[in-house]
Chain A
Amino acid sequence: MKFKPLEILTHIILILGVLLMVLPIWFSFATSTHDNVSIMTEGMKFFLGESFSQNYNEVLNEKGGWSEEVTAARMFVNSFIMALGIATLKVVISAMSAYALVYFRFKLAVPIFWLIFITLLVPLEVRIFPSYKIVSDLGLTNTYTGLILPLVASATATFFFRQFYKTIPDELLESAKLDGANSWRFFIDFLLPLSKTMLAAMFIFMFVYGYSQYLWPLIMTTDEKYWTVVMGMKIIFTENYEGVALPRTGERFAYIILSMLPPVLVVVILQRWFIKGLIQTEK
Chain B
Amino acid sequence: MVYQRINSNRKIKMSFLELQNITKIYPNGTKAVNETSLNIDNGEFVVFVGPSGCGKSTLLRMIAGLEDITNGEISLDGNVINNIDPSERDVAMVFQNYALYPHMSVFNNMAYGLKNRGISKEEINNKVNDVAKLLEIDQLLTRKPSMLSGGQRQRVAMGRAIVRNPKIFLFDEPLSNLDAKLRNQMRLEIKRLQRQMGVTSIFVTHDQTEAMTLGDRIVVINNGVVEQVGTPKEIYSKPYTKFVAEFIGSPQMNLFNCKIENGIAHIADMRINLNNSANIDDASLGIRPDDILISDNGQHTCVANLVEYLGSDMIIYSKIGDQEFSCKLSSKINLNAGDTFKFDISNTLVHLFDNTNGSRV
A: residues with CB less than 8 A from B are: 169, 171-172, 174-182, 185, 189-190, 193-194, 196, 280-283
Contact = CB atoms under 8 A, between A and B. Distances in A.
Interface residues of B, number: 25
A283 B153 CA distance: 12
B95 A280 contact: no
B66 A280 contact: no
B87 A179 contact: yes
B97 A178 contact: no
Given A174-B66, A280-B144, A283-B146, A179 B99 contact: no
B325 interface: no
Interface string B85-118: 1111001110111010111000000001100110
A180 B113 contact: yes
A194 B102 contact: yes
Contacts of B66: 174, 177-178
A193 B144 CA distance: 14
Contacts of B103: 190, 193-194, 196, 280
A281 B102 contact: yes
A175 to B, nearest CB: 4
A280 B147 CA distance: 10
Contacts of B91: 178
- Interface of A: prevailing SS: helix
A188 to B, nearest CB: 12
B54 interface: no
B315 interface: no
A190 B103 CA distance: 8
Contacts, number: 64
Contact of A178 (B101, B102, B113): B113
A146 to B, nearest CB: 38
Contacts of A177: 65-66, 85-87
Nearest to A196: B103
10 contacts: A172-B101, A175-B99, A177-B86, A178-B87, A178-B92, A178-B113, A179-B112, A181-B116, A189-B112, A196-B103
Contacts of A171: 95-97, 99
Nearest to A281: B102
A198 to B, nearest CB: 13
A178 B64 contact: yes
A234 to B, nearest CB: 45
A178 B86 contact: yes
Given A180-B87, A190-B101, A193-B103, A174 B95 contact: yes
Contacts of A182: 87
Contacts of A185: 116
A174 B99 contact: yes
Instruction: From A172, A177, A180, A193, name the one whose CB has the most chain B CB atoms within 10 angstroms.
Output: A180
Interface string B141-181: 00010100000000000001000100000000000000000
A267 to B, nearest CB: 24
A204 B342 CA distance: 81
Contacts of A193: 103
